[in-house]
Amino acid sequence: MIAKRLFDLFFALIGLLLLLPFFVIISVWIKFDSSGPVFFRQVRVGRNEEPFRIFKFRTMSMDAEAKGPSITVGEDPRITSPGRFLRRHKFDEFPQLLNVLKGEMSLVGPRPEVPKYVELYPERLRKIILSVPPGITDYASIEYKDENEILGKAEDPERAYINEVMPVKLKYYERYVVERSVWIDAKLIFKTFKVLV
Classify 33 as helix, strand or coil: helix
User: How confident is the model at residue 195, as a pLDDT?
Assistant: 80
Q: What is the pLDDT of residues 176-185, one digit of tens each?
A: 999 999 999 9
| pTM as predicted | 0.90
Q: Quick one: pLDDT at residue 43?
A: 97
Instruction: Quote the mean pLDDT of the chain.
Output: 91
Give the integer Cα–Cα distance in Å for 159 and 168: 14
Q: What pLDDT does residue 157 have?
A: 86
CA dist., res. 164 & res. 175, Å (int): 18
State phi, psi for 106 to the nearest 5 degrees: -120, 165
Instruction: Give the tens place of pLDDT for each residue, 96-144.
Output: 999 999 999 999 999 999 999 999 999 999 999 999 999 999 999 998 8
Residues of the chain with pLDDT under 70: 63-74
Cα 129 from Cα 192, distance rounded (Å): 20
